[in-house]
Amino acid sequence: MTAIGETPAEVGKARVRKEDARLITGQTNWTDNITLPGLAHVAFLRSPHAHARITRVDVSEARNAPGVFAAFTGQDVKDEQGSLPCAWPVSEDMILPDHPAMAVDTVRYGGEIVAAVVARDRYAAADAIELIDVDYEELEPVLDMREAIKPGAVKVHAEGNKSYTWELANGDLGAAFNDAPIVLDRVYRQQRLIPAAMEPRSVVCAPVGDEYTMWSATQVPHILRLMLAMVTGIPEQSLRVIAPDVGGGFGSKLQVTAEEVLALLLAKRLGRPVKWTESRSEGNVAVHHGRDQIQHIRLAADADGRIRGLDVDLLADMGAYLMLVTPGVPILGAFMFNAIYKMDAYRFNCTGVFTTKTPTDAYRGAGRPEATYAIEHIMDDLAAHLGVDPLEIRERNWIKHEEFPYDTIAGLTYDSGNYEAATARARELFNYEGLRKEQSERISASSPVRLGVGVSTYTEMCGLAPSRVLGSLSYGAGGWEHASVRMLATGKVEVVTGSSAHGQGHETAWSQIVADQLGVAFEDVRVLHGDTQVSPKGLDTYGSRSLTVGGTALVLACGKVREKAKAIAAHMLEVSPEDLEWTGGRWAVRGDPDQGKNLAEITLATFAAHDLPDGVEPSLDSDATYDPDNFSFPHGTHLCAVDVDTETGRVKIRSYVAVDDIGHVINPLIVDGQVHGGLAQGIAQALYEEAAYDDSGNLVTASLADYLIPSAADLPSFVTDRTETPSTGNPLGVKGVGEAGTIASTPAVVNAIIDALRPFGVTDVEMPCTPERVWRAINEAKGGAR
Amino acid sequence: MRISVTVDGVRYDDDVEPRLLLVHYLREHAGRTGTPIGCDTSNCGACTIALNGRSVKSCSVLAVQADGADITTIQGLANGELHPMQRAFHEEHALQCGYCTPGMIMAATDLLKDNPDPTEEQVREGLEGNLCRCTGYQNIVKAVLKAAQGVKA
Amino acid sequence: MIPAQFDYVKPSSLEEAVRALASDEDAKVIAGGQSLLPLLRLRFAYPSVLVDLAGLDALRSVTDNGSSIEIGALVTHYELTRDPLIAAHAGLLTEAAGTIADPAVRHRGTIGGALSHGDAAGDLPAVVTALDADLVITGPSGSRVLKPGDFFSDYLTTALAPDEILTAIRVPKLSGWGYAYEKFNVTAQAWAIVGVAAAVRRENGQVAEARVGLTNMGSVPVRASAAEAAAAGADASPAALAAAGARADEGTNPPEDLRAAADYRRHLARVLTGRALTAAAGLS
């Protein structure tokens, strides 16, 4: 496909956002702002134990408390609640345990719902929760993945602790490793993270007769509607789901949650609208977590550092249950461990393990940051092993720009890329040579503050996803996206997208695309999304898919509008359609550009319908559903310099350069913002954040006082730039940018820290690289306290 | 308890429970839902407002403690036209999902009261009590520095 | 999260406040509420009545008592950072108060509240310990004065009786002393893993006297007596003060928690005390 139409006027402009008007003035429509006549408030009692049998739940006192309408236990809803959905059975023999929205007889993680109260306000509901009496028979928690898969381990589910094993292999691994001059064997740990979108989850559900409207702070209103229908048996056409303004997601709101299912069931039972809004401490235990893998990675290389083979064994913590895409998240990494490199053989093997912890699922990057971390870390180890500069070792192995399209060892086809250009630009912005010089000076001077330089050359797969590929991976749905364009009589445009934004700026970027496609003003476009009644078709926003898939659907729908308009314009101009060309944002007579009609004129004529060609319907409205042929593959080179205070272990990021290649850019302002935020989250994994459990299985980072999200004072300013190698897979030439920063930055930071400490003999620091861990790594390398 | 407070220029006299959090009072009694809640340990700062002219986290103040106070929320900041800080946040793309934005803007305007010409580092430190998960803070810092120029001009 | 129910009184005199506390054993004082509100919201505390000190304007002043500065219990952290008297005579307080939590919390939180909360991880307890301040307490039978070593009795526990109120802090003027507060935390608004409050008086190129208070190195704030003794009489040089600092953890019993193991805290205390002494001596 090629781009249609004129030289872009709007696309590429740093437009300030349309969405801001309500967000900066406090006129936002968060779910928790919604109030309805007779609205009741729901509160949940959650398990304080990681693993226990429930022997008795007594809600009678709660039921009788002032202002309480009802109280429910798992027994009360067990016949209706079904099982929370998992849409990604990655193997035929995957163990997919029943997942009750409200626990009935066993709790398997701290935070699992045990009872519910519905009351007149949130204060009364919170009070009544304390009146519920539960007897538990405590069971041993299952906290360590390696222990969990041993024979005789305490079982999280009767079926066993191993959910699945999934393997991908290509090439002759034995040949690659046998007699390889270099074999590196490493184990890295991906700590568990809490996505912590700033808006806590919230859901409002209102019944009208047999029909239900649900407002939810969700990334996926369409998927939610479908799944609610499948779980509860309420017909899909009787459910309307609205995602109003949603305060961030990062994957955490790509979910169908127990709270949503229960809100629907309670609204149905009581015949009145209900609202539930979580507190942060509740969210930290109850919203799905991310990452949590033990990565065993082996790399075989020639003496000159050329990679021969890569062998990856993952243990991936599923937590206590499989949620919407839990088992698939680590599988996405299968296609990314090989990264930008060429190699002869590759094997990826992943075992999904149940533990008595909060379930894991998608968190920004979902499988790709984990893979990128491991490969970029071991590439640095390889460089250190050979005494070669880490950028040099990468260059020896990466796919050259003239080799695209390139079929990778993991079975994907990278359509385009230019790693040389991005790396050259990053080096230049970073002052790479100058910093290396300063680094050796500090080593010579035995300075207590060491300088480290970290490299991360990454690629990732965006634009989830070609439906055929998803099918081959046993995913339960497709990966298409839908858009429709409605031409209003006044010449203004309403655009409906199935992509559901929650901070990404669709209203602005989509307006820019439409303005160019239809020759209308940016201001004249209104973008509608996030309501299944307004936008009945869609597959929502995750996996950096909105622009590559949803944006392409929009372009195709606009093309249909133009084609419909062409016939009418020809009739209006009394020429044959073949004599018209789309130029300057209007249909004009070829060779006589003064003779033409713009879309406003054509739309008005179509609306009036007084004089349309025979057989032409009086509407320009069009829609399109686009299913991509391939993923898109953004890439880039990130360089990070850190100062490490070897006396205290404190790491300070001194400079950070990110050069990303995301293809064509619709709005550079929005793109830079996405990169900044992604970097912050990736750096947070490297330095600050970890969902930590104690020995009895309690999450000890249940509040933001303990789960350390960095503030402005904890992060540096970033230098960002771009190279632009268009994707050849879509008409916009775009690739996706939502997750790039997160994927690239974690290894850049950790590599920088290790680079600073290699002179002491340090080869790894476990994440998050807290001052204590850094200090201990230095001491350990020196043979001191561990 | 009877309290009397002025919120964004309007006086309210209300009976409230002593335990009512000021942020709930603002959202559910005074109808000022522009101020959101992001945590329960006063770490995130999403609920930051001005109480008698100084930034406070309204989730960590009781409504009864605000008796007699003059409160400005994000909804009372614009005076016919956008406050320079609101404008700067818009122009510098200092927000994405917007959930932290009300608190961030209120904290930032407070910061400039004591330090009308802050350095980048002072802005970063001055916003240490407000968490954002979207922007990496880069454009927030830029916006505050820009607003400082505007306020001075 | 939402606090459980409680009653609320706002006395207009200290006597009335003490009476309110004395009449109900589950009564609890609230000042700025910045420590208390999160505890109430998480339902870690269930007071029957909150006695709000906000009506006691007499507790808001900072006065010059000649040899000391008297700081009312209701003076906020923000005011500590802005008060010229405190800056002139107790700059260590100014500096440390500026590191507490964040600006919005500092606008509400008070010195009296922070000390009465008795959290050894808080910044001000170590500072008043280093400064050897007098803590003025009022109860039903009148006033008494305690030294920090007697006031902080255990983890989150002070010598305050349930019907007593900390009303003022008298900080001796340390004329000619240098000072520094070295706070070590992972993120800016996180609690200190370790903090070191140091004050140093120099004389003829030597350190004549040093005071060191340690944050989060035990269940109560502690003085680093061995380091103080080692610093006294030492050369005013970074090397000598680092050596003195290396004795900072002697006699301490630091906690093990999510944020740090005890041995790391000991190590930090040693390094940071050296740095704090060096800074306080004007050498960095």
Q: If we measure between CA atoms, which residue out of A378, A554, A542, A379 comes closest to residue A461?
A: A542
Q: Among all chains, which residue has been given the structure tokens 């893979």?
A: A371
Chain C residues lying within 8 Å of B56, measured CB to CB: 104, 107-108
Count of residues making up chain A: 786
Dihedral in degrees, nearest 10, Cα atoms A270, A274, A279, A284: 70
Say which of C4, C186, C263 has its CB closest to residue A688. Answer: C186
Question: How long is chain B?
Answer: 153
pLDDT at position A615:
94
The answer to whether A23 and B98 are in contact (CB under 8 A) is yes
Alpha carbons A68 and A88: distance in angstroms, whole number: 39
Cβ-Cβ contacts under 8 Å, B89 against chain A: 20, 24
Q: C233-250 burial, b for 16+ CB within 10 Å, e for fewer?
A: ebebebebbbbbbbbbbe
Residue C80, judged by CB atoms within 10 A of its CB (0-12, 13-18, 19+), counts as buried
Task: Using alpha carbons only, give the angle A763, A768, A770 rounded to the nearest 5 degrees.
Answer: 85
Of B130, B123, B19, residue with least CA distance to B74: B130
- The Cα–Cα gap between A435 and A443 comes to 12
Contacts of A704 in chain B (CB under 8 A): 39, 41, 43-44, 131
Is there a cis peptide before residue A465, judged by omega within 30 degrees of 0? yes
Whether A381 has its CB under 8 Å from any CB of chain C: the answer is no
Peptide linkage before A405 cis (omega within 30 of 0)? yes
Amino acid at A171: G
> Of A600, A463, A592, which Cα lies nearest the Cα of A539?
A463
> Could you tell me how far CA A220 lies from the centroid of its own chain?
12
- Per residue in B5-49, pLDDT (tens digit) is 999 999 999 999 999 999 999 999 999 999 999 999 999 999 999
The predicted pLDDT at position A782 comes to 85
- Rounded to a whole number of angstroms, the distance from the CA of C40 to the nearest CA of chain B is 9
Which residue type, as a one-letter code, is found at position A151?
P
What would the pLDDT profile of A426-447 be if each residue is shown by its tens digit?
999 999 999 999 999 999 999 9
CA distance A616 to A624: 19
Of A279, A650, A772, the CB nearest to C264: A772
Residue A512 structure tokens: 């820019």
- A206, containing H or E segment: strand A202-208
DSSP letter for each residue of chain C: --PPP-EEE--SSHHHHHHHHHT-TTEEEESS-TTHHHHHHTTS---SEEEEGGG-GGGG-EEE-SSEEEEETT-BHHHHHH-HHHHHH-HHHHHHHTTSS-HHHHHH-BHHHHHHHT-TTSHHHHHHHHHT-EEEEEETTEEEEE-HHHHEEETTEES--TT-EEEEEEEE--TTEEEEEEEE-SSTTSPPSEEEEEEEEEETTEEEEEEEEEESSSSS-EE-HHHHHHHTT-BSSHHHHHHHHTTTTTT-----BTTB-HHHHHHHHHHHHHHHHHHHTT--
Distance from the Cα of B48 to chain C's closest Cα (Å) equals 8
Instruction: Please indicate whether, in this complex, the C-beta atoms of B43 and A703 are within 8 angstroms of each other.
Output: yes
* Chain B closest-CA separation from residue C271 CA (Å): 24
Chain A hits for B43, CB-CB cut-off 8 Å, are 703-705, 709
In this predicted structure, the answer to whether residue A81 has a pLDDT above a threshold of 90 is yes
Contacts of B81 (CB under 8 A, 6+ apart): none
Check the CA dihedral A532-A536-A541-A543 and report its sign.
Answer: positive
Select from A635, A657, A658, A668 the least CA-distant residue to A735.
A635
Residue pair C203/C195 in contact by the 8 Å Cβ criterion: no
Joined tokens for residue A330: 């680590």
How far apart, in Å, do the first and last CA atoms of chain C sit? 45
CB contact under 8 A, C42 and A127: no
- How much is the mean pLDDT over chain A? 96
Per-residue pLDDT of chain C (284 residues; tens, 9 = 90+): 899 999 999 999 999 999 999 999 999 999 999 999 999 999 999 999 999 999 999 999 999 999 999 999 999 999 999 999 999 999 999 999 999 999 999 999 999 999 999 999 999 999 999 999 999 999 999 999 999 999 999 999 999 999 999 999 999 999 899 999 999 999 999 999 999 999 999 999 999 999 999 999 999 999 999 999 999 999 999 999 999 999 999 999 999 999 999 999 999 999 999 999 999 999 98
Query: Do you know the residue count of chain C?
Result: 284
Chain B touched by A280 (CB under 8 Å): yes
* Pick among A276, A689, A707, A708 to test the C interface (most C CBs inside 10 A): A708
- In sequence order, the β-bridge partners of residue A307 are A301
The DSSP symbol for A590 reads T
Which two structure tokens, joined as six digits, stand for A8? 């872009």
3-state secondary structure A378-389: HHHHHHHHHCCC
pLDDT value, residue A784? 61
Q: How far apart are CA C265 and CA C92, in angstroms?
A: 22
Instruction: Write out chain B residues lying below 8 Å of C30, CB-based.
Output: 62, 65
Nearest CA in chain B to C106: B56
- Closest CB to A198: pick one of B44, B89, B141: B44
> Alpha carbon of C178 to those of A669, C199, C211, C236, C247: distances in Å?
48, 6, 10, 12, 20
Indicate whether A221 pLDDT > 70: yes
Please state, in angstroms and as integers, the Cα–Cα distance from residue A379 to each residue in A93, A180, A211, A392, following that order. 35, 16, 56, 10
**Which pLDDT tens digit goes with each residue over B79-137?**
889 999 999 999 999 999 999 999 999 999 999 999 999 999 999 999 999 999 999 99
**Among the partner residues B65, B110, B130, nearest to C33 by beta-carbon distance:** B65
pLDDT (mean) for A629-643? 97
Looking at residue A5, what is its pLDDT?
A: 46
What is the rounded distance in angstroms from the CA atom of residue A594 to the CA atom of residue A590?
A: 10
Q: Can you tell me the distance from the alpha carbon of C256 to that of A134, in angstroms, rounded to the nearest whole number?
A: 32
| Residue in chain C nearest B129 by alpha carbon | C102
> How large is the C-alpha radius of gyration of chain B?
15
Looking at CA atoms only, how far is residue C135 from chain B in angstroms?
Answer: 26
* The residue to which tokens 């079929």 are assigned: A407
